[in-house]
Chains A and B, each alone.
Chain A
Amino acid sequence: MNVLEVKNLKKYYATQKAVDDVSFGLAPKSIFGLLGPNGAGKTTLIRMITGIFFPDEGEILFNGKKFDPVNDVIGIGYMPEERGLYKKMKIGEQAVYLAQLKGLSKGEAIEKVKQWFIKFEMQSWWNKKVEDLSKGMSQKLQFVTTVLHEPKLIILDEPFSGLDPVNANLIKEEIYKLAQNGSSIIFSTHRMEQVEEICDHIILMNKGQKILDGTVKEVKQQFKENLFTIGFENMPEQISASGFDVVGRQDNHLIVKIRDGNKPNDVLQYFLNKGVGINAFHELLPSLNDIFIKLVEGTPLSRQFEKINA
């Protein structure tokens, strides 16, 4: 059973279809990438899942039951893109307060905060104020307050923005661990290289609509362009073959595009017949970045305002 099931969700604003008929499911223990350019509707979608907004239409199922914003928030941890903490409040108290708001009792909250502070080596921070922390430190604190109550569903909006590689890695490791321990994670970003590394499953949104849905592997297969790169000992002089075209050339490498109806073996056969020494041959899969740009390109960079009759 999926932790989260979103069915035909719609949210229209006066001048924009912010989320237009989006459906997806989130398997337990999976890390799910929610991608899209700025203004694609990711934040609105997330706000509906976290109960901040009510959808105009559609249904959200949480643990198989209809989502109830008041009682289900304890099962959700959300780190918004616009995030912050009370600057003048002591860090320990603040973490306890946020946990209490999630529905933990004061005693439980204090205990959990202590555990997490030990885990992240933050014990000495308890009586400090947030304004004394560096950006990376406060990001760590923010992460702790998000996952403190051990939610089933964790939603992270650009969790690595502003983090140095060391701290980013620390949080990345923690995300993996949380997924192993049974949480499902929605990871919203437009940094593709992180998605490729972390996510099992992605959806891509543009202009409020879902335009892509699948595992990272599937998506890459779906968008492959039959490109291969071949490494030679000595670059062959003349190449004229019916099965493929040369699309790029670089030192001792060629990039070839195989025509429909032909196979990689045909390419190898051709060069073997020519007696050229081959030392590398592999498929070029598109990066998510390429796919993203390809899909989103051609649409205006910023969304235009339009009249909605809903």
Chain B
Amino acid sequence: MNKIWIIAQREFFTRVRKKTFLLATILLPLLIFGFYALIIYFSVSSDSYKIAVLDKANVFTEKMNGKNSEIRFEIVNSDTASLRASIERKEYDAYLLIPEGYDVLGSDSLIFRSSNAVGLMTREKIEKRINNILEEKRFSKFDIPKQRLDSLQRKSEILYEGLNGSKDGESKAGLSYAVGFISGFLIYIVLFVYGTMVMRGVMEEKVSRIAEVIVSSAKPFQLMMGKIIGIGAVGLVQFLIWGVLIIGLQLLLPLFFPELLDQAQSAQVMQPGAVQAAQSNGAMTALMQNISQINFPLIIGSFIFYFFGGYLLYSSLFAAVGSAVNEDPQDAQSLLLPVTMPIVFAIVIMMKAVNNPNSGLAVFGSLFPLTSPVVMMARIAHGIPDGVPLWQLLLSMAFLIIGFLGTTWLAAKIYRTGILLYGKKVTWKEMWKWAFRRS
């Protein structure tokens, strides 16, 4: 036990003290944050577009500009020739011509002229704005007041509920989907990244020929477990730092971009009709409610369990492969395939399970220990018992524990032989023999 501890410490500290670790751990969130900021920057600060309206039919009123919108209309009394000149002087970006005797109920066209080609996005926004105004005009022609219009257009809400009356709103389903998907995907990445790290560590020991020196002092099993535990600790520390950094930066984001909040407000104002705005406000509070409905302690608890369970299960397999590989990293590729296949399967099943957490495939995938770490996270995001019955969760955990004891035992036997074998290309058939021969 003591030796596993000494080995794990070495594995941990040699990795954590490396420059690459610091770079990856601290730079990555900064990079993500920077990327984020860049996207927001570009989406917030799109240029305003100024349109002169030459309204010969008196359809438009002065009130058509929403606050803070990028597209501004300005009614002018002029003629096309002078407008053309003012566009060339860059006073306006374009002008809109409403011909004399234009009938809002008819199907006449409006003419929009600009010096530069108009982008698709801008075009859509302009059309939407103009059509909104025209629509209102049409309704007022029939004397339909605004309020009635809103009630005409209102959609009925359907309340999705579980049998016991628990709320299962759309936004909650969406949120569960997102949480399930993200946590499943994270575990998938963990298995790959740290599994490969374990494999490379074992290969390093073989290539640098220190394996035999070490196994004359410690048992091969201790060496393997020490390595797995040490690298697991590296993973945990890395994840913690990432988590803290990402959350911290997320909170800082509004400080750097105060426009972001304005943008959210103006988006609401832009929608015509107060009722709709109220509805979207309601959706926001519903989302907040749903977030509080999701059982985060359960999800975080299971995430940690499946993080470690899956890591222990797979890293021992990766260690076994690493021990069988000689200097040539190409060998690793072919030997690795049977190990990586189930992980890839798991992510495929996870995509299905996150939509339909109780399908047969999802149930199988969440119980089978080679896929359960990824798949179960997708189901558990939907909660107990909607996404997964408690007994299945417990069974899956039990299977995972049995599974990792099994793979560790198996891998230890392969590892013991492989680590001392040099210069021979090993096949899976041989590794199978090492695992099951009597010692």
A interface residue numbers (CB < 8 A to B): 47, 50-52, 54, 69-70, 73, 76, 78-80, 82-89, 97-98, 100-102, 142, 145
Q: List 17 A-B contacts (CB under 8 A).
A: A52-B420, A54-B439, A73-B216, A78-B213, A78-B216, A80-B212, A80-B213, A82-B211, A83-B213, A84-B209, A84-B210, A89-B14, A101-B6, A101-B7, A101-B214, A101-B218, A102-B217
**Docked pose: A87 CA to B210 CA in angstroms:** 10
**Contact: B217 with A101, CB < 8 Å?**
yes
| Shortest Cβ distance from residue A161 to the other chain B in the assembled complex, whole angstroms | 13
**Docked pose: A98 CA to B205 CA in angstroms:** 14
- Say yes or no for B208: interface residue by CB 8 A criterion: yes
Residues of chain A lying within 8 A (CB to CB) of residue B211: 82
Residues of chain B lying within 8 A (CB to CB) of residue A88: 14
**Contact: B209 with A101, CB < 8 Å?**
no
Residues of chain A lying within 8 A (CB to CB) of residue B210: 83-86
Residues of chain A lying within 8 A (CB to CB) of residue B205: 86
Residues of chain B lying within 8 A (CB to CB) of residue A70: 219
- Say yes or no for B432: interface residue by CB 8 A criterion: no
**Contact: B6 with A52, CB < 8 Å?**
no
**Contact: A86 with B208, CB < 8 Å?**
yes
Contact among B204, B215, B217 for A98, CB-based, below 8 A: B217
CB closest chain-B residue, reference A80? B212
- Say yes or no for B428: interface residue by CB 8 A criterion: no
**Contact: A100 with B6, CB < 8 Å?**
yes
- Say yes or no for B21: interface residue by CB 8 A criterion: no
**Docked pose: A89 CA to B213 CA in angstroms:** 15
B interface residue numbers (CB < 8 A to A): 3, 6-7, 10, 14, 204-205, 208-219, 420, 422, 439
**Contact: B216 with A51, CB < 8 Å?**
yes
The residue among B14, B210, B422 with the most chain A CB atoms within 10 A of its own CB is B210
Residues of chain B lying within 8 A (CB to CB) of residue A145: 213
CB closest chain-B residue, reference A78? B216
The 3 closest A-B pairs by CB, nearest first: A84-B209, A101-B217, A80-B212
| Shortest Cβ distance from residue B20 to the other chain A in the assembled complex, whole angstroms | 11
Residues of chain B lying within 8 A (CB to CB) of residue A100: 6
Residues of chain B lying within 8 A (CB to CB) of residue A79: 213
**Docked pose: A82 CA to B208 CA in angstroms:** 9
**Contact: B217 with A84, CB < 8 Å?**
no
| Shortest Cβ distance from residue B430 to the other chain A in the assembled complex, whole angstroms | 11
**Contact: A83 with B212, CB < 8 Å?**
yes
| Shortest Cβ distance from residue A11 to the other chain B in the assembled complex, whole angstroms | 12
**Contact: A101 with B3, CB < 8 Å?**
yes
The residue among B209, B216, B422, B439 with the most chain A CB atoms within 10 A of its own CB is B216
| Shortest Cβ distance from residue B420 to the other chain A in the assembled complex, whole angstroms | 7
Residues of chain B lying within 8 A (CB to CB) of residue A69: 219
| Shortest Cβ distance from residue B242 to the other chain A in the assembled complex, whole angstroms | 24
**Docked pose: A91 CA to B219 CA in angstroms:** 23
Residues of chain B lying within 8 A (CB to CB) of residue A86: 14, 204-205, 208, 210
Residues of chain B lying within 8 A (CB to CB) of residue A76: 216
**Docked pose: A43 CA to B31 CA in angstroms:** 52
Residues of chain A lying within 8 A (CB to CB) of residue B422: 82
Besides A80-B216, A83-B213, A88-B14, 7 other CB < 8 A contacts? Answer: A52-B215, A70-B219, A78-B216, A80-B212, A83-B212, A85-B210, A85-B213
CB closest chain-B residue, reference A90? B14
**Docked pose: A52 CA to B213 CA in angstroms:** 10
Residues of chain A lying within 8 A (CB to CB) of residue B14: 86, 88-89
Are A85 and B212 CB-contacts (below 8 A) given A101-B217, A101-B218?
Answer: no
Residues of chain A lying within 8 A (CB to CB) of residue B212: 52, 80, 82-83
**Docked pose: A28 CA to B216 CA in angstroms:** 21
**Contact: A84 with B216, CB < 8 Å?**
no
**Contact: B208 with A73, CB < 8 Å?**
no
**Docked pose: A102 CA to B217 CA in angstroms:** 5
**Contact: A73 with B213, CB < 8 Å?**
no
**Docked pose: A52 CA to B211 CA in angstroms:** 11
CB closest chain-B residue, reference A155? B216
**Docked pose: A61 CA to B422 CA in angstroms:** 30
CB closest chain-B residue, reference A99? B217
The residue among B208, B212, B422 with the most chain A CB atoms within 10 A of its own CB is B212
| Shortest Cβ distance from residue A98 to the other chain B in the assembled complex, whole angstroms | 7
CB closest chain-B residue, reference A131? B208
**Docked pose: A89 CA to B204 CA in angstroms:** 12
CB closest chain-A residue, reference B212? A80
| Shortest Cβ distance from residue A244 to the other chain B in the assembled complex, whole angstroms | 51
| Shortest Cβ distance from residue B43 to the other chain A in the assembled complex, whole angstroms | 44
Are A97 and B215 CB-contacts (below 8 A) given A83-B209, A84-B209, A85-B208?
Answer: no
Residues of chain A lying within 8 A (CB to CB) of residue B218: 101
Contact among B6, B7, B204, B209 for A82, CB-based, below 8 A: B209
The residue among B3, B214, B217, B422 with the most chain A CB atoms within 10 A of its own CB is B217
**Contact: A97 with B10, CB < 8 Å?**
yes
Contact among B7, B10, B216 for A50, CB-based, below 8 A: B216
**Contact: B439 with A73, CB < 8 Å?**
no
Residues of chain B lying within 8 A (CB to CB) of residue A51: 216
**Docked pose: A80 CA to B210 CA in angstroms:** 9
CB closest chain-B residue, reference A77? B216
**Docked pose: A184 CA to B193 CA in angstroms:** 47
